[in-house]
Structure 1
Amino acid sequence: MTRTKCWLQKLLNKNIYLYAAAICYVLLAINALITRLPETPPYFIVLSDLHLSSAAGRFQKNSEHYFKLINEFKTFKPRPEFIFIVGDIIDNVEVGADGSLRGGSIENFQAEVQLFRKSMKMMPETPFYTTLGSGHDYSSIVDLETAEKQIGPRRGSIDWHGMKLVWFTVRRATFGENSNEPALLKVDYQWLDNTLSDSAQPVILISHVPFRTPITFEKGRKRHNRNYTIPDEDQLYQILRHHKHRIKALFHGHIHRTIATQLYQIPLYINPFLLESGYTKVSLVDNRELEVSQKHFN
Structure 2
Amino acid sequence: MLIAQLTDLHIGEGRRLAYRKVDTAGALEKAVAHVMAMVPRPDVVLFTGDIGDLGSRDEYALVAEILTKLTIPYFMVPGNHDRRGPLRAAFPYATPVRADTGFVNYVVDDFPLRLIALDTLDEGKPGGVLGKTQLDWLRDVLLDGDGRDCAIFMHHPPIVTGIAHMDAQNLGAGAEELAAIVSVHRDRIKAIFCGHVHRPIHTIWAGVPLMIGPSVAHQVAFDLRADGPSAFVMEPPAMHLHVWDAGQHSLMTHLAYLDRYDGPHPFFGPDGKLIV
User: Same fold by TM (over 0.5)?
Assistant: yes
CA distance in 2, matches of 1:262, 1:208: 17
1:67-146 alignment, distance < 5 Å: 67-92=29-54, 109-124=56-71, 126-134=72-80, 136-138=81-83, 144-146=84-86
In 1, are the aligned partners of 2:60 and 2:86 still within 8 Å (CA)?
no
List alignment gaps of at least 5 residues for structure 2: 98-103, 220-236, 260-276
Higher percent of residues as helix: 1
Secondary structure of the 2:152 match is strand
Higher CA-based Rg: 1
In 2, are the aligned partners of 1:220 and 1:229 still within 8 Å (CA)?
no
CA distance in 2, matches of 1:174, 1:157: 25
- When the two chains are superposed, the root-mean-square deviation of aligned CA atoms in Å is 2.3
* 2:134 maps to amino acid: D
In 2, are the aligned partners of 1:197 and 1:243 still within 8 Å (CA)?
no
CA distance in 2, matches of 1:239, 1:204: 13
Question: Equivalent residue for 1:147?
Answer: 87
Question: Equivalent residue for 2:158?
Answer: 211
* 2:82 maps to amino acid: D
Question: Equivalent residue for 1:275?
Answer: 218
Question: Equivalent residue for 2:141?
Answer: 195
Question: Equivalent residue for 2:165?
Answer: 221
1:292 to 237, 240, 253: 253
CA distance in 1, matches of 2:148, 2:38: 28
Report % sequence identity.
22
1:168 to 118, 124, 132: 118
User: Are residue 44 (structure 1) and residue 3 (structure 2) matched?
Assistant: yes
Using a 3 Å threshold, how does the CA distance of structure 1 residues 76 and 190 change in structure 2: closer, same or farther?
same
Question: Equivalent residue for 1:265?
Answer: 207
CA deviation after TM superposition for structure 1 residue 266, in Å: 1.2
TM-score computed with the length of structure 2 as normaliser: 0.73
* 2:133 maps to amino acid: V
- Deviations, residues 115-143 of structure 1 (Å, cap 9, x unaligned): 2111221123x111000112x111xxxxx
- Deviations, residues 206-243 of structure 1 (Å, cap 9, x unaligned): 1101112x4x2x22535xx9332335764222222222
- Deviations, residues 154-199 of structure 1 (Å, cap 9, x unaligned): 1111125432110111132545xxxxxx922432221111001223
CA distance in 2, matches of 1:56, 1:161: 34
List alignment gaps of at least 5 residues for structure 1: 1-41, 93-103, 139-143, 176-181
CA distance in 1, matches of 2:134, 2:173: 17
In 2, are the aligned partners of 1:50 and 1:66 still within 8 Å (CA)?
yes
